[in-house]
Amino acid sequence: ILLLNRQYMLCWVKGGGGRRSFRRLASHFTYHPTSTAGDHPKTNMFQAVTSALDIALQSDPSALVYGEDVAFGGVFRCTLGLREKYGAQRVFNTPLAEQGIAGFSIGLAVGGATAIGEIQFADYILPAFDQIVNEAAKFRFRTGNLFNCGKLTIRAPCQAVGHGGCYHSQSVEAFFAHSAGLKIVIPRGAYTAKGLLLSCIRSPDPCLFFEPKILYRSAEDNVPTDDYQLELGKAEIVRQGDGVTLVGWGTQVHVLLEVAKMAEEKLGVSCEVIDLQTIVPWDVDTIAESVCKTGRLLISHEAQLTGGFGAEIAATIQRECFLNLEAPIERVTGLDTPFPHIQEPFYMPTKWKVLEAIERLTAF
């Protein structure tokens, strides 16, 4: 008996002694590794994050890493071993108070330190919303650049994990995208996580770095052990095509890559897949150039439809590429409901929903 849903393919198998059990056979997406030049060790995403933090602490004596349970490695083990290496004064736990973590981070950064705070789950960043939006984002502006907190980075695990329910699955990027003064970054895997995180830590602006938690162990790339950075504000074309432009970020990029292959096999449609990477400031030029070539755009993200960042992309591309569009822009997103638990498979923007949208685009 097969039970299929978004997160799992489960098979009911008969074990020894007549016992029956469910086994997990596959995830809802297939991870597509990032190709890198050179011979580099296989590294998963949480190890890549650890490596970036290690480099930041080693290269910058003012850098501090802190958050809830960070001292023993964090719930996802991203800070494992750093306290032992750099000491309790540079890697330490905070109280369970997200607003306090954000306020403390702002003070550190204004005082000249490189502040790298962790919010244990992106869902719990909302108590810190006032500090981030009204203080961190506006500090440079309201002091006329006399002071700033540009050496501030806040990390937080985000997006669906298959069993997180409404408080451990949300995508919150659009909430903060409305606040000028912040950079918002979401990697799609281990290689991009390390390079983008180091760029955030060294950015002259406060950054929010959201890490798709389902990728911590499932995303493996050949990641350089040395120091490298990836450009913020720059999208990456991860698959070339000329029929439809598919735009996503985080885990959804891998869904789109799988759909692009399906569309080519089933529909004969060549899809160009773009990883946005930086939500703010986002790379208008790369997407616009792609849409001028393909004439069709589909945006997909896990956050709900209304007010999702896909709407901003759609509005901008409609203005910039109006005469090149061959069909209305499609958005395939989460539903306009709180993030569900057992009903998660119905909420998610699955590959089948995206494939149906591509059919609509090409049939218009």
As annotated, the active-site residues are 98, 168
Which pairs from 76-83 meet CB under 8 Å and 24+ separation?
76/46, 76/157, 76/213, 76/216, 77/46, 77/50, 78/46, 78/49, 78/50, 78/53, 78/118, 78/155, 78/211, 78/216, 79/50, 79/53, 79/118, 80/50, 81/50, 82/50, 82/53, 82/54, 82/57
Close Cβ partners of 293 (under 8 Å, ≥ 6 residues apart): 242, 245, 272
How are beta strands 207-212 and 152-158 bridged, if at all?
parallel
C-alpha to C-alpha distance for 301 and 297, rounded to whole angstroms: 14
In a 13 Å sphere around the CA of 205, the CA atoms on its Cβ side amount to 18
3-state secondary structure of 187: coil
